[in-house]
Structure formats: structure tokens, C-alpha cells
Amino acid sequence: MERKTKYDYAFKLECVELVLNKHYSSEHVSKLKQTSRWNIRKWVSFYKTYGKIGLLPRINQSYSAEFKLKVLKSIETEFLSLMQAGIRFNIPNISMI
């Protein structure tokens, strides 16, 4: 059974294109599309890093203890924000960190 997503791929891509191609601010797009500015910024960052594949829905994934420790050490040593760590390690939801 496939996981239900709140925003589909086409919606995310449209929001990203408004920011990158039309040069709208993430705040303007969030008001226009009635979603949070945080989501817009996250989608743009994943798109810039991974391309269109970065906007596709993810399968629920479990992470090993070693991977989790690697993420936490990177956050500490490189002073990464949770969003930066999520993008670097391809973790779509920072609450998993």
C-alpha cells in the first residue's frame, strides 16, 4: 500500500518553478498556494540538490544507528541546521532527525 501524500509531485514542482523561474519569493508562493513557507523552501532546496527526483514521494524508510550517528555528528561538527542536514542526507522530514 502506498503512503498518502499531502502534496503531489505536480503541485511541488509548480511551486518550485514559481520560485526559481518566475523569481517569486517563497513567502509569496506560500500565500498564493496556501501552504507553509517552510514547505516551499524545503522543496526548492531538495530540487536544487537532487533535481526533479527530489520532489517525488518517499517510501517510509528506517535508518541504521550508524547513519543516525553520522547525521548527528555532521550537525554538531559542521554546524548544520536541521534543514541543511535533511537535504545533505536526503531525509525528507526533519522530525526524523
- The pTM of the full predicted model, rounded to 2 decimals, is 0.82
Asked if the structure places residue 83 within a domain, the reply is: yes
Instruction: Give the pLDDT of the chain (97 residues) as one tens digit per residue.
Output: 445 578 999 999 999 999 999 999 999 999 999 999 999 999 999 999 999 999 998 877 888 999 999 999 999 999 999 999 999 999 888 888 7
Q: Report the C-alpha dihedral over residues 91, 95, 45, 26, rounded to 10 degrees.
A: 160
Q: What is the count of structural domains for the chain?
A: 2
Residue-number span of the structural domain to which 70 is assigned: 65-96
Dihedral (Cα; 67, 72, 77, 78), 10-degree rounding: 80
Q: Is residue 18 part of a domain?
A: yes
Residues 69 and 51 in one domain: no
Say whether both 15 and 44 belong to one domain.
yes
